Amino acid sequence: MNSFDIFTPFGWPIVIYLTLAGLACGATLCGVFFLRSKGKAREGRSYTIVKASLYLAITAILIGILLLVFDLKSSDRFYLNFLEFNPASAIAWGTRIITLFVMLCVLSLVLLSTVNDKDKSNPIGPVLTGFLVFFAFAIGIYPALVLGQAAIARPLWEPFLLMPIFLLLGLHSGVALVQLFTLNKWTDKSIEQIRKLDLFAIGLQVVLFALLVITTTFSSVGKGQLFFGEFALWFWVGVVFIGWALPFIISSSSSPSKKRIILTQLCFICGAFALRTVIVFSGQGTQAFVGT
């Protein structure tokens, strides 16, 4: 048995769902950016990128939901969350947020199907765009609020720091996913802008995670497990090296090659998964470590 398996009720399906929800959030916001670009930036806008962003967002969130359904002990009763609404239930809120998010993405794709890449008109108005942004943020932040309900017993799940961390991870990895699938549609200017933002995002991730560990009541035993024990390999290799150091080194060089760009984006996605793994499993392990 993998040692992570003892930390129930949140297992691997939850970690994968968190990663997929983040990808959906980031992919949608990336699509909105290209959709609303104007002036010179409009030259780099492609409805192909916007459509790909929405397709990727829908696919990611639906796969995540399927994982959650199969992970539930009463998965055959999951549909009741759509028929019965309990304001105190995080799952009830989540199902409605995700449903509305998917509906908005589908509606946007239908409207986008009426135009082509060379068409300068925008079929998605500001109201629909605003709703897309709102629900994309909700998809990105919601998992942090769910984990945050147990923050008293599991201090690493402090919601006020988890929310920006999860949102940043989602935005960063979601843009990386879109770029992987649509790189040939990106202009040199857009690629250069993303390269600079990558460097900033990596630094911000490091700062936020450091604050999470330093400012919470995460015990010295828990920190030892994170940095030198049970989760050390995931943290130092998955998060620090693959998620932060390697892409930072690559992005620091001006005009990276296509292969380096692809490697960088893969690193961001893998690093986001690794950091969520560390937060979820290490966070559950801290329940026994509260107090020194």
pTM: 0.89
Number of domains in the chain: 1
Asked if residue 73 belongs to a domain, the reply is yes
pLDDT of 45 reads 56
Name the residue range of residue 188's domain.
3-287
Asked if residue 27 belongs to a domain, the reply is yes
Taking residues 32-44, report their average pLDDT: 65
Task: Count CB neighbours of 80 within 10 A.
Answer: 12
CB 70 within 8 A of CB 13: yes
Asked if residue 222 belongs to a domain, the reply is yes
Confidence class of residue 226 from pLDDT cuts 50, 70 and 90? Answer: confident
Q: Crossing angle, helix 90-112 and helix 47-71, to 10 degrees? A: 150
Asked if residue 254 belongs to a domain, the reply is yes
In total, the chain counts a number of residues equal to 292
Asked if residue 292 belongs to a domain, the reply is no
The answer on pLDDT for 3 being more than 50 is: no
Residue 29's domain is classified under what CATH number?
1.20.1630.10
